[in-house]
């Protein structure tokens, strides 16, 4: 299974790294994709991550899930990118899971994709998705959309994506392994 994670300068590091780790433990081929000019992407707290490729280099034809970490101004950069919106729309058209955490659900909201759907997002960002139903849950799944509140639930977000892709049994086993300490 191939998971594409989009990274823009100003992404929230833990909202990318924690789900990435979980998905790799679940057996995903994870592709970190830069939407910036280069392959080095800097998080909101100055941590730099090397992406595998640039968004212009991928078609998305082989993806099984698309993940958007939050953080600002990273989420705004995702929302401003034509290539990001094109990739999101391709995922939606193919019925592929689209997962967004913290501020990133507003990218989907700006596209009208969350209208009438149950969602979770960082408090205050619901104003960008007035037609969505903010449930108050930490992580919410509605059809192909997986949304989450923010950094504090990055683990649960990653586990939910894994569950949707490979099943609850595998996700539960990963959760059990990482909580042993």
User: Residue 83 is part of a domain; what is its CATH number?
Assistant: 3.40.50.880
| Catalytic residue chosen out of the listed positions 31, 53, 102, 121 | 102
- How many domains does the structure of the chain reveal? 1
pLDDT of residue 132: 97
Using a cut of 0.95, tell me whether the model's pTM lies above it: yes
**176 is a domain residue:** no
CA distances, 180 to each of 47, 50, 91, 159, 166 (Å): 27, 30, 35, 16, 22
- Is 53 considered catalytic here? no
**178 is a domain residue:** no
**109 is a domain residue:** yes
Mean pLDDT for the chain overall = 97
Structural domain that includes position 58: 2-171
In angstroms, rounded to a whole number, what is the distance separating the alpha carbons of residues 22 and 17? Answer: 9
| pLDDT confidence bin for 180, thresholds 50/70/90 | confident
């Amino acid at each position: 299974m191939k998971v594409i994670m989009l990274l823009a300068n100003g992404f929230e590091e833990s909202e990318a790294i924690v789900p990435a780790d979980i998905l790799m433990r679940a057996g995903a081929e994870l592709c970190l994709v830069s939407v910036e000019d280069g392959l080095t992407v800097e998080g909101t707290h100055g941590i730099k991550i090397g992406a595998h490729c640039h968004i212009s280099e991928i078609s998305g034809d082989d993806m099984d899930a698309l993940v958007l970490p939050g953080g600002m101004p990273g989420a705004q950069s995702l929302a401003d990118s034509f290539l990001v919106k094109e990739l999101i729309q391709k995922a939606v058209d193919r019925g592929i899971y689209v997962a967004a955490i913290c501020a990133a659900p507003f990218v989907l909201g700006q596209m009208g994709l969350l209208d009438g759907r149950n969602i979770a997002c960082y408090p205050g960002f619901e104003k960008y998705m007035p037609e969505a139903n903010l449930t108050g849950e930490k992580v919410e799944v509605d059809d192909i959309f997986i949304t989450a509140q923010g950094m504090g639930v990055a683990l649960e977000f990653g586990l939910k994506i894994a569950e949707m892709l490979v099943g609850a049994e595998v996700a539960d086993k990963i959760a059990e392994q990482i909580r042993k300490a």
